[in-house]
Chain A
Amino acid sequence: MDDVKTPSREERKSALSGLGTSRKRVEDARFTQGKGNYVDDIKLKGMLFGDFVRSPVAHARVKNIDTSAALALPGVHAVLTAADLEPLGLHWMPTLAGDKQMVLADGKVLFQGQEVAFVVGDDRYAVADGVSLVEVEYEELAVVTDPFKAELKDAPILREDIADQKEGAHGARRHPNHIFTWEAGEKEETNKVLEEAEVVADEMVYYHRTHPCPLETCGCVASMDKVNGKLTVWGTFQAPHAVRTVASLISSIPEHNIRIISPDIGGGFGNKVGVYPGYVCSIVASIVTGVPIKWVEDRMDNLMATAFARDYWMHGKISATKEGKITGLWCHTTADHGAFDACADPTKFPAGFMNICTGSYDIPVAYLAVDGVYTNKAPGGVAYRCSFRVTEASYFIERMIEVLAQKLGMDSAELRSKNFIKKEQFPYTSALGWEYDSGDYHQAWEKAMKSVNYKQLREDQAKQLQLFKDGKSRKLMGIGLSHFTEIVGAGPVKNCDILGLGMFDACEIRIHPTGSAIARLGTISQGQGHATTFAQILASEIGIPASDITLEEGDTDTAPYGLGTYGSRSTPVAGAATAMAGRKIRAKAQMIAAYLLEVHDDDLEWDVDRFSVKGAPEKFKTMKEIAFASYNQAIPGVEPGLEAVSYYDPPNMTYPNGAYVVVMEIDVDTGVSDIKQVYALDDCGTRINPMIIEGQVHGGLTEALAISMGQEIAYDEQGNVMTGTLMDFFIPTAWETPNYETDYTETPSPHHPIGAKGVGESPNVGGVSAFSNAVHDAFKPFGLTQAHMPHDHWRVWKIAKDLGLHS
């Protein structure tokens, strides 16, 4: 053997581009050359287009729909209404939250933008002409837009279809516009602690309605092949397998005759989890016409009709000793769900994981109640770049910490530090019932405070305040702190399912004879770079370079069943399945290597990319050699080939966490905020690809910036959407977006095969609180306790005005 040419262990490891490598993305070749394949790029022979007639009003009876003029138009092939769908039982569809939703207006409309009729034609232009010719007669009804007025005695009844039902999908309903009450924790004990507490802070914290607004809107192409009886649907689906099962259940087409394909997806952020009327209508239209149907929302449709997020009114009380030791937390949330309860939460959690609202703190007792109500607004309630309602929970507790600190006259950084769950308390069971897996909050917090030089920041702030008070400056400085704990990776089948489907995930691996591989997963990337990072997990597990591993997702005919990508579940669940499938490959490879080397299995040890004989490392078989042998050797007792599949049911959720600091300067006279610094420290456990983690953090922080500083779905009193275009709906440009400093600590998850926790949503969860707290912090010296988001220029100007800071 020529030792000089033998690569060292480190060189062999580095050749794999495995865990911890900032591997460049394999997706980028096609995306940079305009060769992505998004749903609107799909073009099939004979394909027609479909689009909706939508309701211009928020609440009305539909007296008549006249489709004759539209149908008379050359180029228009069909117009579907609820009456056409009813014989098929498809005029309503189940929602993910156990409610049902009209596919097309069935006698009445309940929100502006609701789908009333579906026009099918030759191309988008003919369809647009057809849509404009459908005459709908509406009889307007009184509108409910304020969730606190939904349950008044004389409130108009929105959902006449279930007005008499006293029991909903999540227990008792006390009013026709009431959906559910969901409780967690100890009510009486919490009340007692609050009554006897030395200090109590009481605040209403509103997390406003917003929208994920991915750059690509929702859409699909449905193609019913009547010859073979097979339905294929390409669509913007974050959970393709779940869509297949739901489509089969509601259409009665056998599941094996349905193929769902998620092609490249132009961002999801939760928008593409739900099932929308457009999908159902496209499928029906394809069955009716016998040709493929394409439906793609425009931006206005997207903002008005699909998948709003948040809209939680969170009334909180937090108690503490005079020294700042938190003793209890109480929260009552009024949740505005719009016209149908279409939240995308695991079935047993109608308010998602809102019960993570004790945050990063060791709070002995807590109680949470959430009441969901119907209003004349679009349905949704999706997890916009967060696990189910975790952003709401995190914003709530991080605001309550701030108001408590104000009441105590204590620095909020110190208050946090005093109450963090300690490292040695993990695994930690929270007062609202979750078992936090791991964390070192004090280490992260201290690192963050040191990195931003917190003491200096407070001194600078005090100087700026003095200048302001002396009339020498009209600017104030705000320092926004947040420490968050997420709960992601849903989830254990024992308590997590969507429509009865357990939230496990899966990976299947096939090793080719020449030692390269293909892996398929039940998830689907929407920009997260799964093809890059999952190959890295595998490379480290099976010793095949990441560049030799193809990764495929999104085709239900080829991929193993999984529940898709949202709620930061891909790495915690499918990433774990990937590692476990890799370990099965390795176990079989060990038997093959033992046969080839004529030793016992136990005499071998794994070494980066090979099995070598213990004590004799020169005797080895590489994975590549083993792969070939698996295809050409008759090994007694071992099947040919090298494949494995793993279905992974996670034993627990993962709990990513982090410490964020935002510094901004606010012009009191204009309300304009100038962001000076954004520091984000994330602990996502084991880091798979630092480059991609950093990219995720930049993106999530920018969405947090948008949400906290200007982005909202606003309605007027008549239920008109006031933010239906990108003129009104705020998305920051490069010009408004600051540079970010990222940092990390690494506390692996003890129950995940590689210790990873997920990161994509952390920056949104931690970021919103940090930005909002910075605004509050600037005005704290003048007595501001709570000002609702978004903190756009007008609202910030208004804070200053109401505090008497304008002369």
Chain B
Amino acid sequence: MEKINVTMTVNGKEETLSVEPRTLLVHALREHLDYTGAHIGCSSSHCGACTIDMNGKSVKSCTVFAPQAEGAEILTVEGIGSPDKLHAIQEMFKEHHGLQCGYCTPGMIMRSYRFLQENPNPTEEEVRFGISGNLCRCTGYQNIVKSIMAAADKIRDEVNVEKKEIA
């Protein structure tokens, strides 16, 4: 099948890749760009292991064609923190045992990343609803919810500190 060029910004870096038009975004990210954080669990949008952030929205990259991401801003789990400075969500997942096998974790973290911007001050119930597109087989969600609630606190604290510093 003939290939086409697709250009997108991934984790702040502009990338142009040559792919068959039918290439799924998750394969483009994992196999062409080596961002293997997003995982494939069902290929049918049910499990959310492939969740990434695309143009400011949570997207399940197993059901998006790579050409649909032409010109898009994409953020994956590899792009939200660094080994020296983890994102608050990454830190809180570690702190509160919010993961076990780790397979759902990148998707879960990326969904939480967007969810906490949509709702920075959520109730537990809202967190549970907000991540209900992401399945986890190991944790029973209790510690994931705890991690996200703690991350919300931490992000609010960080924002308050920043505000104080500016003032």
Contacts and interface: CB of A to CB of B under 8 A. Distances in A.
B78 A32 contact: no
A609 B111 CA distance: 44
Contacts of A28: 93-94, 99, 102
Given A27-B102, A32-B90, A734-B127, A40 B40 contact: yes
A125 B65 CA distance: 13
A740 interface: yes
B137 A269 contact: yes
Interface in B111-128: 127-128
B44 A699 contact: no
B135 A527 contact: no
A527 B101 contact: yes
A107 interface: no
A299 interface: yes
B39 A266 contact: yes
Contact of B103 (A267, A699, A700): A267
A41 B95 CA distance: 26
A40 B38 CA distance: 11
Contact of B141 (A30, A125, A298, A734): A734
Interface string A709-733: 0000000000000000111000101
B43 A31 contact: no
Interface stretch (B53-61, B142-150, B156-164): B142-150
B7 interface: no
A57 B41 CA distance: 25
Interface stretch (A208-216, A580-588, A772-780): A208-216
A124 B83 CA distance: 32
Contact of A267 (B76, B137, B143): B137
A703 B138 CA distance: 8
A691 B135 contact: no
Given A33-B90, A695-B100, A527 B141 contact: no
Interface in A24-55: 24-25, 27-36, 38, 40-41, 43
B124 to A, nearest CB: 8
Contacts of B90: 32-33
A441 B35 CA distance: 50
Nearest to A731: B135
A735 B141 CA distance: 9
Q: Main SS of the interface on chain B?
A: loop
A423 to B, nearest CB: 31
A737 interface: yes
A692 interface: yes
Interface residues of B, number: 59
Given A33-B78, A35-B37, A733 B103 contact: no
Given A34-B36, A726-B42, A734 B128 contact: yes
B13 interface: no
B34, B35, B38, B97: most-surrounded residue (chain A CB, <10 A): B97
A124 B40 CA distance: 13
Contact of B22 (A43, A125, A701, A737): A125
Nearest to B136: A215
Interface string A548-585: 00000000000000000000000000000000000000
Contact of B94 (A32, A216, A265, A735): A32
A299 B135 CA distance: 14
Contacts of A298: 42-43
Contacts of B99: 28, 31-32
A214 B127 CA distance: 23
Contacts of A215: 39, 41, 47, 49, 101, 103-104, 135-137
Nearest to A697: B140
Given A695-B97, A734-B128, A702 B36 contact: no
Q: How large is the interface on A (under 10, 10 to 19, 20 to 34, 35 or more residues)?
A: 35 or more
B140 A701 contact: yes
A727 B44 contact: yes
A377 interface: no
A31, A41, A692, A699: most-surrounded residue (chain B CB, <10 A): A31
Contact of A32 (B22, B23, B109, B129): B109
B8 interface: no
B37 A34 contact: yes
A38 B141 contact: no
B34, B42, B43, B135: most-surrounded residue (chain A CB, <10 A): B42
Contacts of B27: 124
A311 interface: no
B86 A267 contact: no
Given A125-B1, A527-B101, A699-B100, A33 B143 contact: no
Nearest to B101: A527
A682 B38 CA distance: 35
B31 A529 contact: no
A739 interface: yes
B103 A698 contact: no
Nearest to B102: A31
Nearest to B141: A734
Contacts of B95: 24
A702 B140 contact: yes
B103 A25 contact: no
Interface string A216-245: 110000000000000000000000000000
A734 B47 contact: no
Nearest to B110: A34
A266 B131 contact: no
B97 A36 contact: no
Contacts of A33: 37, 77-78, 81, 83, 86, 90
Contacts of B137: 213-215, 267, 269, 699, 703, 731
A31, A32, A726: most-surrounded residue (chain B CB, <10 A): A32
Contacts of B68: none
B139 interface: yes
Interface string B7-33: 000000000000010110001001100
Contacts of A406: none
A296 B41 CA distance: 11
Nearest to B45: A726
B100 A216 contact: no
B106 to A, nearest CB: 5
A21 interface: no
Interface of B: 1, 20, 22-23, 27, 30-31, 34-44, 46-47, 49, 76-78, 81, 83, 86, 90, 93-95, 97, 99-106, 109, 127-129, 131-145
Interface of A: 24-25, 27-36, 38, 40-41, 43, 123-125, 213-217, 264-267, 269, 296, 298-299, 526-529, 691-692, 694-696, 698-703, 725-727, 731, 733-735, 737, 739-740
20 contacts: A27-B102, A32-B102, A33-B77, A33-B90, A34-B78, A36-B103, A43-B34, A125-B1, A125-B20, A213-B137, A299-B47, A529-B100, A695-B139, A699-B138, A701-B140, A702-B140, A731-B137, A734-B136, A734-B144, A737-B128
